Amino acid sequence: MALNRFQGLSFFTTANGAQGFPIHSQGEVAFAGRSNAGKSSAINTIANRTRLAFTSKTPGRTQHINFFTAGKDQYLVDLPGYGFAGVPIHVRRHWENFLSSYLQNREELKGMALLMDIRHPLTPLDQLMLDWFLPSGRPVLLMLTKSDKLSRSQRLNAARKVRAEIAPRASDLTVIPFSSVSREGLEETIAVLEGWLDSADVPSYTDEKTQETPLNE
């Protein structure tokens, strides 16, 4: 496999509010998903690293947005994994508002990769993330992780079902079965992300009101 820009990925900054975002960003791709969806493993696989991104077992450490630079003021953005039931309500509320605002209003955001366990896709929390993001008109990549757990026919069937459910709501949708173990879908995923960062325009979301629907379990 040829080298890609993400193999030079390195940690840039972590933010708990908009004031911590990179000032001169020329493009960002966001990674979102439940805490057990394999998001950190996917980022490490894309970067061909072992410990670039890691999952903390401490809920309080999951409430920040982490920016990894791919050079040229472009970033892969690791959003907090959602699904921790033990997070204090005031922390959860802050994170929900912060995250929804980033997804809906960040002009530099080129697209979102939403990672879901291929065996349990489109949970209510996944659907809520899509509710926040899809109105922006930006492209979305649904990465169906842990695809090595299913047979080829099961993987294809799961991808078809997910596409059929989300396609009517999305203007630009890609669905890719992905495995950090077998590396299935890796080249296709990198091609999508690089295409987003190479695109000329960053669409803006102009709705005056930011939706603040809570992420309940």
Taking only the tens place, the pLDDT of each residue in 120-166 is 999 998 998 999 999 999 999 999 999 999 999 999 999 999 999 99
Ramachandran class of 214: left when φ > 0, alpha when ψ lies in -120 to 50, beta otherwise: beta
168 vs 15, 35, 173, 184, 195, CA distance in Å? 33, 27, 10, 26, 23
Taking only the tens place, the pLDDT of each residue in 57-82 is 544 445 689 999 998 999 999 998 87
Residues contacting residue 146 through CB under 8 Å, at least 6 positions apart: 38, 117, 118, 119, 179, 181
Instruction: Choose between 52 and 70: higher pLDDT.
Output: 70
Residue 8 confidence class, pLDDT cut points 50, 70, 90: confident
Strands 27-33 and 74-78: parallel
- The CATH number fitting domain 5-12+25-198, selected from 3.40.50.150, 3.90.950.10, 2.60.120.260, 3.40.50.300: 3.40.50.300
Residues contacting residue 57 through CB under 8 Å, at least 6 positions apart: none
Q: What is the dihedral of CA 79, 41, 86, 14, to 10 degrees?
A: -40
For CA atoms 39, 42, 48, 49, give the dihedral sign: positive
What mean pLDDT is reported for the chain?
85
| Residue among 208, 129, 202 nearest 170 (CA) | 129
Taking only the tens place, the pLDDT of each residue in 156-204 is 999 999 999 999 999 999 999 999 999 999 999 999 999 999 985 544 4
- Are 163 and 72 a contacting pair, CB within 8 Å? no
Q: Please name the residue that has the structure tokens 């990769």.
A: 113
Other beta carbons within 10 Å of 4: 18
What is the reported pLDDT for 21?
94
Q: How far apart are CA 79 and CA 99, in angstroms?
A: 8
